[in-house]
A and B are shown apart, each in its own frame.
Chain A
Amino acid sequence: MTVLNSKIPAGPIAEKWSSHKAAIKVVSPANKRKLDIIVVGTGLAGGSAAASMAEMGYNVKAFCYQDSGRRAHSIAAQGGINAAKNYQNDNDSVHRLFYDTVKGGDYRAREANVHRLSEVSGEIIDQCVAQGVPFAREYGGTLSNRSFGGVLVSRTFYARGQTGQQLLLGCYASMNRMIGQGKIEMHERSELLDIVIIEGKARGIITRNLVTGEIERHSAHAVVLATGGYSNVFFLSTNAMGCNAGAAWQAYKNGACFANPCYVQIHPTCIPIHGEQQSKLTLMSESLRNDGRVWTPKKKEDAVKLQKGQITANDIAEEDRDFYLERRYPSYGNLVPRDVASRAAKERCDEGFGVNETGKAVYLDFKYSIERLGKDVIEARYGNLFQMYEKITAANPYELPMQIYPAIHYTMGGIWVDYNLMTNVPGLYAIGEANFSDHGANRLGASALMQGLADGYFVLPYTIGDYLADEIQVPRIDVNHQEFVKKEKAVTDRMTRLYNIKGTKTVDSFHKRLGNVMWENIGMARNEEGLKLAIKEIQAIRKDFYKDLRIPGDYDAMNIELEKAGRVEDFLDLGELMAYDALDRKESCGGHYREESTTEDGEAKRDDENFAYVSAWEYQGEGKAPKLNKEELVFENVKLTQRSYK
């Protein structure tokens, strides 16, 4: 049985991180040179960790599946990054950011982690500015801020609609400096396929070179997973096409607990699905809700005419527009958190008020802000997003409101980690979206970038020292160790097994089938019956997958279908675990909405009495039901209340 020790330091919340830092061990510069660290993933979390640890003197080996570290999915983040700088004098503070985040996460995150995140948030901005990230500035030269969903202050820093890109280029530049100095060994187009554990400690990884097909062994004193989220289990999502759960799944199979897998974030402002041939969904940044008003028609007749294409939004009179977020949530209005906004949109569309041909879209209207501020101001703020929207939909959002609909976007669940960001497997760490830690059941906008960079720049580089200080006597790990040989064989067996099925169906066809089951039953709303059905259906798809998968091309060369097959195999298993987790959690919270648990006025109903815990699932072997471990969540600093944005 796994014992989950969260290692949360004792003492008052505001002092936990500093007293912990004072107590944990430090490795001397001379000894850092003797220690190797593997970092898998070069997004904001992995990139910042790799650069910082290399600067400190460790030998870092970094891996990503793309052709360049700078193309990690973090590059796509648009809206911004939060920090409690109070530059706007709107009474922001570390405590307020902490409070907003715990509340926004529906009280399912660890207080201590969130407080630390808030504490270091300010330093992140300083670090990024120093690297040359061109954040937006005021006329006087100071940094600019805007507001995001779920909060009443302006604490979001941004670089046009390309914040993730600029932050990533910043930390990638730092990585490049270290690659140039030989402190980081960079492996592009390499995919982690297994983790090597020697005498209970993570000591290396097995990768596939995606160009040559070669299986490679890499060793280190510690392994850090910064491999991002698993939204692509739904096939259609806002994530990049290659995003996967492979590394997290291997960690799970090697003994690491997988926490809160069912917590999935649905983003309210995505471009709606246009048809059968679609491969991914495109996000429109949440920052648009600062100036856009969300509405549907009040009258069903109008909705029907819109659906048939007989009229456009502009034909609907002012008094016939239902600004339903402003109506239902007067104090937050269009800036309610994502889960609330998404459910409200679904509710309107389910009632028949959807505005496009599929009936699955609502309006995000800039008419009012253009009248108030002028087109120039709106163009300066969101020009590239408007352009992107027009390229995809061929409609001009300056003239007609945007059509938006919720889509799968971010996964709050992930590998379980303690306060040091170490999994329950010694020497194996997980940071960024890959871990479960800071967001609870829902993530507020602009907080993922903050968490990735907090973990990578200011948390892991300290906490990993505590573990590595005891490893300085351990010589460089030999990749000829029998555990490496064993794991390499396991990977080869797995890949050849997939390759040799020689069936008739493509990888994508299985992925789409799985995605359908996931969206229908483990998507925006879940119920017991649907979840049980999903488990059965996923098992049936898996059976078919092993019988009828077809992978053309050569085995020992670049083979994109083989790459995808491995990822979909993991998604099938993960999808099933998500259903188990959702079944267990008989409450509604954040991104997890159980239809059986609602309040009288149709809002999600939490059950703190019975469910204030982290579900940490433990692998029990192939074909066996997973085991549930619970980490009870203790709230000493925020009072658990019904989350209201009214």
Chain B
Amino acid sequence: MADKILKELTIKVWRQKNAKAQGKFETYKINNISTGTSFLEMLDILNEELINGGTEPIAFDHDCREGICGMCSLFINGRAHGPDDDITTCQLHMRMFSEGETITIEPWRAGAFPVIKDLIVDRTAFEKILQAGGYISVNTGGVPDGNAILISQDDAEEAMDAAACIGCGACVATCKNSSAMLFVSAKVSHLAKLPQGKVEAARRAKSMVAKMDEMGFGNCTNTGACEVECPKGISIGNIARLNREFLVAKIKD
């Protein structure tokens, strides 16, 4: 498709020097952006202009720029990862915007994700949840042959659906309660779907949920907003599975 040029855009962006400072919106103009340019490339161009003009560039998180590492974030025009479905911000392209538009950019906002600078937030609360039990306890070596554990194609596919979570945090950012249920349920489901993970499924569900609460994420009230904004199409069906796993674990206690 032939790319067009957006002659002028207005960028309203959250600037915050560090975790302790007060943040506020700043407004910038940017010209001549090709619609084939990605959103982050647009920010790169804006940053070049800011630096050339003697201003500090806007800090934002990103790395792979292929929609897989989960590092990019950004709340764009009121939506996590911006105005397109099933994508991360690095995959968002400027063809989703129109001439003369004002684009508002904010960081993920959630108590458990404090702002570090500008648009960068601290998501280590997710890692803490994983460290509490998001694994199968197996040491390197001393494992059976891969084909000794038969797994039906459907189970493998379902496990893969859940395992596709990239840990971006869009679900938390978009949830009015800042709940981490979709993320946690994806992890729990992935491992609970597989025979290797069943052995410690109950323990895992309990310790991860306990950690999630401890880290200050809100409760899930089944609004489903998380599923809508998840770039990897993680289903809220996983939340039901987590609840089941959790319940079974409690009954066993």
A and B: bona fide binding partners: yes
A145 smallest CB distance to B (angstroms): 11
Contacting pair A87 B67 (CB below 8 A): no
Q: List, in ascending order, chain B residues with CB within 8 A of A393's CB.
A: 1
Contacting pair B147 A142 (CB below 8 A): yes
A515 smallest CB distance to B (angstroms): 14
Q: List, in ascending order, chain A residues with CB within 8 A of B56's CB.
A: 552-553
Q: With contacts A274-B3, A279-B41, A561-B57 known, is A130 near B91, CB below 8 A?
A: no
Choose one: A68, A180, A391, A395; the contact of B132 (CB below 8 Å). Answer: A180
Q: Which of A140-173 contact B (CB under 8 A)?
A: 140-143, 159-160, 162, 165-166, 169, 172-173
Contacting pair B123 A392 (CB below 8 A): no
Contacting pair A67 B122 (CB below 8 A): yes
The answer to whether the Cβ of A313 comes within 8 Å of any Cβ in the partner chain is no
Whose C-beta in chain B lies nearest to the C-beta of A133?
A: B163
A141 smallest CB distance to B (angstroms): 3
Contacting pair B54 A66 (CB below 8 A): no
The answer to whether the Cβ of B177 comes within 8 Å of any Cβ in the partner chain is no
The answer to whether the Cβ of B120 comes within 8 Å of any Cβ in the partner chain is yes
Q: List, in ascending order, chain B residues with CB within 8 A of A75's CB.
A: 64, 68-70
Contacting pair A561 B143 (CB below 8 A): no
Q: List, in ascending order, chain B residues with CB within 8 A of A277's CB.
A: 33-34, 37, 41-42, 44-45
Contacting pair A558 B59 (CB below 8 A): yes
Q: List, in ascending order, chain A residues with CB within 8 A of B126's CB.
A: 68
Give A163-193 as 1s and 0s: 1 = Cβ < 8 Å from B's Cβ atoms.
0011001001110110110000010100000
Among B190-198, B215-223, B238-246, the one that faces the other chain is B190-198
Size range of the interface on A? Answer: 35 or more
* Docked CA distance A55–B244 (Å): 32
Number of A-B contacts (CB under 8 A): 224
Contacting pair B138 A137 (CB below 8 A): no
* Docked CA distance A48–B66 (Å): 23
Whose C-beta in chain A lies nearest to the C-beta of B150?
A: A141
B161 smallest CB distance to A (angstroms): 9
Q: List, in ascending order, chain A residues with CB within 8 A of B66's CB.
A: 76, 240, 282-283, 388
Give B51-74 as 1s and 0s: 1 = Cβ < 8 Å from A's Cβ atoms.
110111101011111111111000
Whose C-beta in chain B lies nearest to the C-beta of A275?
A: B34
Q: List, in ascending order, chain A residues with CB within 8 A of B122's CB.
A: 67
Contacting pair A71 B131 (CB below 8 A): no
Q: List, in ascending order, chain B residues with CB within 8 A of A66's CB.
A: 63, 69, 71
Choose one: B63, B152, B197; the contact of A241 (CB below 8 Å). Answer: B63
Q: With contacts A52-B140, A68-B127, A277-B33 known, is A141 near B91, CB below 8 A?
A: no
The answer to whether the Cβ of A51 comes within 8 Å of any Cβ in the partner chain is yes
Give A240-267 as 1s and 0s: 1 = Cβ < 8 Å from B's Cβ atoms.
1110000000000000000000000000
Q: List, in ascending order, chain B residues with CB within 8 A of A131's CB.
A: 135-136, 138, 196
Choose one: A52, A134, A560; the contact of B159 (CB below 8 Å). Answer: A134
Q: List, in ascending order, chain A residues with CB within 8 A of B150's CB.
A: 140-142
Contacting pair B143 A394 (CB below 8 A): no
* Docked CA distance A280–B45 (Å): 14
Would you mind naming 8 contact pairs between A and B with Cβ atoms under 8 Å apart?
Answer: A73-B63, A73-B69, A132-B197, A141-B151, A174-B140, A240-B66, A552-B55, A553-B57
4 closest A-B pairs by beta carbon, nearest first, are A141-B150, A173-B135, A130-B143, A134-B159
Residue ranges of A at the interface with B (Cβ–Cβ < 8 Å):
48, 51-52, 55, 66-71, 73, 75-76, 85, 87, 123, 125-132, 134-143, 159-160, 162, 165-166, 169, 172-174, 176-177, 179-180, 186, 188, 211, 240-242, 274-275, 277-280, 282-283, 309, 387-388, 391-395, 457-458, 461, 504, 506, 508-509, 550, 552-553, 557-558, 560-561
Residue ranges of B at the interface with A (Cβ–Cβ < 8 Å):
1-3, 17-18, 33-34, 36-38, 40-42, 44-45, 48, 51-52, 54-57, 59, 61-71, 84, 86-87, 91, 93, 95, 116-117, 120, 122-124, 126-127, 130-141, 143-147, 149-153, 156-157, 159-160, 163-164, 166-167, 190-191, 193-194, 196-197
